[in-house]
Amino acid sequence: MKKSTNSLPDQPPRWADQLLEWFVAPHLLEYIQGDLHENFHKRVVKVGIARARREYLWAVFHCLTPFFTKRQTIKSSYSNQPSTVMLSNYLTIAFRNLWRQKAFTAINIVGLSVGLASCLLIVLYVLHELSYDSYHAHADRIYRMTMHARMDEKDINLAYSTGPSGQALLRESSGVEAVTRLRKEGAFLVKHRQDIIKEEKVAFVDSNFFSVFSLPMMKGSPKNALAEPNTLVLTQTTAQKYFGKADPIGQSLTLGNLGLFRVTGVCEDVPSNTHFHYDMFGSFESVKTGDKWLASGAYTYVRLREGHSLTQVETISRGFVSKYIAPEIKEFFGMDFTEFQKKGNRFGFQFQPITDIHLHSDLDDELEANSDAKYVYIFSVIAFFILLLACINFTNLSTAGSASRSKEVGIRKVLGSVRTQLVTQFLTESVLLTFFALVLALVLVFLLLPSFNVLSGKQFTVNDLVNGRLLMGAVVCSLVIGLLAGSYPAFVLASFKPITVLKGKLQIGGRGGWLRNALVTTQFVVSIGMIVATIVANRQIQFMQNKKVGFDREQVLVLHDTHVLEAKADAFKAELAKLSSVVKVASAGFLPAGHTSQSVDGVQIQDGARTATHRTKGYYIDEDYLPTLGIGLAQGRNFSKAFSTENASVLLNEAAVRTYGFKNPIGQQISTVGDGSAGSKRTYTVVGVVKDFHFESMHQHIAPLVIFYGKDNNQLALRIQTNDIPTLLQKIEQQWKATTDNPFAYSFLNERFSKMYQSEQHISQLFAVFAGLAVLIACLGLFGLAAFTTHQRTKEIGVRKVLGASVTGIVTLLLTDYLKLILIATLIASPIAGYTMSQWLRDFAYRIDLPWWAFALAGVLATVVAVLTVSYLAIKAALVNPVKSLKAE
C-alpha cells in the first residue's frame, strides 16, 4: 500500500524527484522542480502518463550539470577585512579555547606528541637505513661483484669475488671505469712502541680505494697513499688513539705477523651509513692474494662509465667461467669442466648496486652483518600505526569536545559567521595544537635519543634531528596532520544548524557516535595486535634461551686469542688447570656460540657398495673439550690421549649418523674429500657419537657434524666452579700477563649465547616499547571519550539514582559500552596478529606453537587498562549527588 501512496498515478516518478532533490543546489531546486512538475502535468494531458514520466526522467537527467549541482557560496560581509586581522582573531580565540579546556588540551597534546615523537624516531632510523652508501660520488654506478656457485648440491653465495676477476673485468670491459678491491685478514694485534692493542677493523685495499669511495683524506695523497706495500691509512680517530696530537704521517705500526707498516695518510672516520667500518686501511700489496681464480678472494667493487649499462659487464663476466675458471677446475677437482657441470655444479658472478648491500644483501662472508629491508618495513608500518592512533585520538577528542561548543557555533552563526570562518577557526585550533605537540615531541625525542640509540644500535645526535630536511618534514607533516585530523571536527561543528543547537539539542550522536566507536575500536585493534606480537616474540626468545642446547653454558669462561701464546699454550693451560676454581680447560677454537673457527669438508661414506658424499661442517677439539662444555656421548667413547691413533679417529653427532644412514656407527669408516688433491684425502674411523647440540643458531635445524681430533688454540674454554668470578679473573689475568704482552680478553659462554639472539631481542624490546605507546595513546583517547560521554549522561545518571540505581549498577552500565568495543577489537586483532606472528615464527627451525592464551591475555590486558581508565570517571559520575546532576543546566 505504501508504494501506491508514494507514487500517485499522475505524479512524476518519486525516485527521479529524490534524485533531483539530492543533486540540485537548494537555492535553485524549488523553481526548477516546480517548472518540471508543471510541465509534467501539461504533458500528461497531451501525451499520456507513461510518456510524460519518461520525459520527466529525461529532463531530470538533463539537470545533472555543474550549473545545477554547484552549491551557493555565501560571502561574508566581513570577508573584505585584511586576512591578518582575522588570523589574529582566530589565534586569540584558539588560545582561549585551548586554555579553557585544559584537560582536553593536555590529553590531546600528550597523545599526539607521544605519537609524533615515536614517529620521528622511527623516521630517523628508517632514513638512516635507507641512506646507506648513497653518499659516495656516483653511488648509482658502483656495484659489488659477488660470486655464486653450486657445488656438491649446495649453493654457495659469497659476498666477495675471486682475486683476479676485478682486474680481468677492467681489462676486458670498456664499460668499467674503475675497479677497487678490499681484503680482510681478521683481527690484528697492533704494536706501537710498548703497547699492543687488538684491532678488529683492519682492511687491505687497492690504492684507488679512496677515489672510488668518498672517504675524504685529511692528510696524505688520496691517489698514492697506498701504492706501496706495507703502507697504512688510519682514520682520524685511530690516528689520534695511537699518536695523539703528533703528526702520524711517516710513523710506523706493527701489524701482527705482517711486520712494520708506515702511515701514509689519515682519512675521515667512515660514516655510520656505510656497509663497512674500518679503522685501518693497509695497502693491498701488503697481503698475499693468489692469482688462482679458485683459490683467492677479494671484495671487488666496480664503477661503471657514465651511461653504460650493467648488462654488457654481466655478459663479459659470464665469459670468465669458461675462459679462466674451467682450466683451473681440472687442477683443483681432477675432472673436466664438462664433467664438473654434468654433476650439477656451476660458477657465476653477479653485481649488486652498492646502495642495496645494507638492506638487501645476505650472502656468506659479508663485511658486516647487514640489516634487513624487512625491519625497515616493519618499523615504517609501526610508525604509521602510531601516528594513525594519535590522529584518531585527536579527531575523536576534538569531535567529542565539540559538544560543549555547539552553543558557541550557534551564536557565531546567528551573529553572521559563515561556514568558512568557522572551519578556519577550528582548523586554526587544531593546527595550533599539533604545533604544541610537535614542540613537545621534539623535546621528548631529545630526551629519548640516548635510550633509542641503545635500542636501535645507532648513534644519532641532536644534529641529525635538527638538520634541515627532517625538521622541515616534521613541520609540514604536523601541519598536514593538524588539517586532516582537525577537518572532521571542523566540518561537523561548522555544519551545526543554529536553531537546533541554540534550543539545546545536541547534534552529535547517531552517525558521529558510530564513527567514534569505530575509531576507538581501531585503536584497540592496533594495541592488542602489538601486545600479542610482543608476547609471542618474548616467548620465542625465552624458548630459545631456555631450550636444552645439548651443552652446559653456565660457568664456562672463554679466553680469547690464545693462539698468541704459541708454544707456551700447553704450559699456560696446565697452570690454569691447577687453579682451585677451574675444573677443566680445553682448546676451544670451535664454539657453539659467538666467535668460532669454521670448517667444512666433503665427507665420503663407503657403506658396502654404496658411496655418497656429504658436505659436512667440522669441529677440531681436544680430549678435554666434551667434558668442559658438558656435551654428552650417545655411543662409543671420547677422544683420549691413551690412544696413539686418535688422528685417524672421528666423532659424529646424532644428526650426522642419521644423515649418513649408519645403523651401527661405531667402527664405520669415513673419508674426507679435501681440496681434491690426493694428499688432502684421508680416512677416519668413527669411535663415538655425541648427543646433538645446537652448534648453530635456532634458525637452523641441527646439521650433521664431524668432530676431528686436533687442537685449535684460538680460544680456551674453562669450566669453572666459583661464586667469586672477579677474583678468579684476576688470577687468570695475572697468569696471562706473566706469559705474554698481548691484551687479555674473555667472555662467558652464556653471554655469548644470549648475544646470538640480539636482533630478535631488539625487535621484541622495540615491540614492547611501541605496544606500550600504542596502549598509552589508546587509553588517552578512551579517557577523553569517556569523560565526554559521562558528562553527557550526567542527567541520566541522576535520574537513575533517584529511581534507586546502585553505584555498582551505574558503573557497570558505563563500562559495558567500552568493554563491548574491546571485545570486538580483540576479535578483529587476533586473526591478524596470529597470522603475522606465525609468519615471523617460520624463520625459526625451533619455535614455539602460537600460544592461544596470548590473545586472551592481550584482550584481558587491554580490558584491565581500559577499565582502570574509565572506572575513575564512571565512579566519579556515579557518586555525584543526584540533586546536583539534575540541577545541572
- Cβ atoms of 305 and 179 within 8 Å: the answer is no
Binds another protein (CB under 8 A): choice among 51, 54, 62, 100: 62
237 binds another protein (CB under 8 A): no
Site for another protein (CB under 8 A): which residue of 6, 18, 21, 41? 41
Please check whether residue 757 is in contact with residue 544, taking contact to mean a CB–CB distance below 8 angstroms. yes
Q: Under a CB-based contact definition with an 8 Å cutoff, are residues 313 and 170 in contact? A: no
Residue type, 432: L
Residues 442-481 that bind another protein (CB under 8 A): none
When binding is defined by CB under 8 A, the residue of 52, 53, 59, 490 that contacts another protein is 59
Shortest Å distance, C-beta 23 to another protein: 12
Location of C-alpha cell 540533586? 883
User: Could you tell me if 754 and 764 are in contact, meaning their C-beta atoms sit under 8 angstroms apart?
Assistant: no
Q: Contact between 63 and another protein (CB under 8 A)?
A: yes
Instruction: Write down the least CB distance from residue 790 to another protein, Å.
Output: 47
Q: Is 32 an interacting residue with respect to another protein (CB under 8 A)?
A: yes
554 lies in the binding site for another protein (CB under 8 A): no
Distance separating alpha carbons of residues 778 and 89, to the nearest angstrom:
33
The answer to whether the CB of 511 falls within 8 A of the CB of 825 is: no
User: 227 is written with which cell numbers?
Assistant: 701504492
In the structure grid, which three cell numbers stand for residue 31, read together?
523553481
Q: Binding another protein by CB under 8 A: which of 15, 31, 384, 514? A: 31
Element (H, E) at 640: none
Separate counts of helices (H) and strands (E) for the chain:
31, 24
Stretch that binds another protein, among 62-70, 231-239, 760-768, 784-792 (CB under 8 A): 62-70
Determine, following the binding rule CB under 8 A, whether residue 37 of this chain makes contact with another protein: yes
Between 28 and 295, whose beta carbon lies closer to another protein?
28
Q: Please identify, using beta-carbon distances, which residue of 39 and 722 lies nearer to another protein.
A: 39
Q: Which of 6, 18, 65, 808 binds another protein (CB under 8 A)?
A: 65
| Size of the residue set binding another protein (CB under 8 A) | 20
Half-sphere exposure of 566 (CA within 13 A, CB side): 5
Q: Please check whether residue 235 is in contact with residue 266, taking contact to mean a CB–CB distance below 8 angstroms.
A: yes
**Smallest gap from residue 6 Cβ to another protein (A):** 14
Among 39, 167, 251, 487, binds another protein (CB under 8 A): 39
Binding piece for another protein, criterion CB under 8 A, among 38-46, 233-241, 365-373, 486-494: 38-46
Instruction: Determine the Cα–Cα distance for residues 27 and 25; give it in Å rounded to an integer.
Output: 6
Applying CB under 8 A, the span of 65-73, 243-251, 412-420, 730-738 interacting with another protein comes to 65-73
CA distances from 459 to 370, 383, 464 (A): 16, 20, 10
> Which set of grid coordinates corresponds to residue 285?
700489496
- Residue 771 near residue 461, CB atoms below 8 Å: no
- Examine residue 35 and tell whether it contacts another protein (CB under 8 A): yes
- If one counts every other C-beta atom within 10 angstroms of the C-beta of residue 679, the result is 7
As measured in angstroms, the least distance from the Cβ of 57 to another protein is 12
Residue placing its CB nearer to another protein in the complex, 43 or 560: 43
Angle, CA of 112, 115 and 117, to the nearest 5°: 105
Main-chain phi, psi angles of 833, to 5 degrees = -65, -40
Q: Are 141 and 176 in contact (CB under 8 A)?
A: no
Is position 67 an interface residue for another protein (rule: CB under 8 A)? yes
Tell me: does residue 21 bind another protein (CB under 8 A).
Answer: no
Q: Which residues contact 27 (CB under 8 A, 6 or more apart)?
A: 72
Dihedral through CA 462, CA 463, CA 466, CA 468, nearest 10?
Answer: -170
Among the residue ranges 60-68, 167-175, 753-761, 793-801, the one whose residues contact another protein (CB under 8 A): 60-68
Helix (H, G, I), strand (E, B) or coil at 665: coil
Considering beta carbons, is residue 36 or 107 the nearer one to another protein? 36
Q: State which of residues 6, 14, 15, 34 lies at the interface with another protein (CB under 8 A).
A: 34
Per CB under 8 A, which region of 27-35, 164-172, 735-743, 797-805 contacts another protein? 27-35
Helix 419-456, helix 406-414: angle, nearest 10: 140
Name the DSSP class of 757. Answer: T
What does the per-residue mask of binding to another protein show for 816-835, with x meaning CB under 8 A? --------------------
Question: Between 29 and 867, whose beta carbon lies closer to another protein?
Answer: 29
Stretch that binds another protein, among 57-65, 492-500, 780-788, 849-857 (CB under 8 A): 57-65
Q: CB under 8 Å to 584, separation ≥6 — which residues?
A: 577, 624, 627, 628, 718, 719
Rank residues 31 and 377 by Cβ distance to another protein and give the closer one: 31
Q: State in angstroms the smallest separation of the CB of 110 from another protein.
A: 52
For the CB of residue 75, give the shortest distance to another protein in the complex, in Å.
Answer: 15
Pick the piece of the chain touching another protein (CB under 8 A) from 25-33, 98-106, 220-228, 585-593. Answer: 25-33
Interface pick for another protein out of 36, 382, 433, 766 (rule CB under 8 A): 36
Q: Which of 68, 243, 324, 332 binds another protein (CB under 8 A)?
A: 68
Nearer Cβ to another protein (31/446): 31
Burial 341-355 (b: 16+ CB within 10 A, else e): eeeebebebebebbb
- Strand segments, DSSP code E, in 112-201 are 142-151, 154-158, 176-184, 188-192, 195-199
**Does 538 participate in binding another protein (rule CB under 8 A)?**
no
What's the closest the beta carbon of residue 48 comes to another protein, in angstroms?
A: 17
Give the binding site for another protein (CB under 8 A).
Answer: 28, 30-39, 41-42, 58-59, 62-63, 65, 67-68
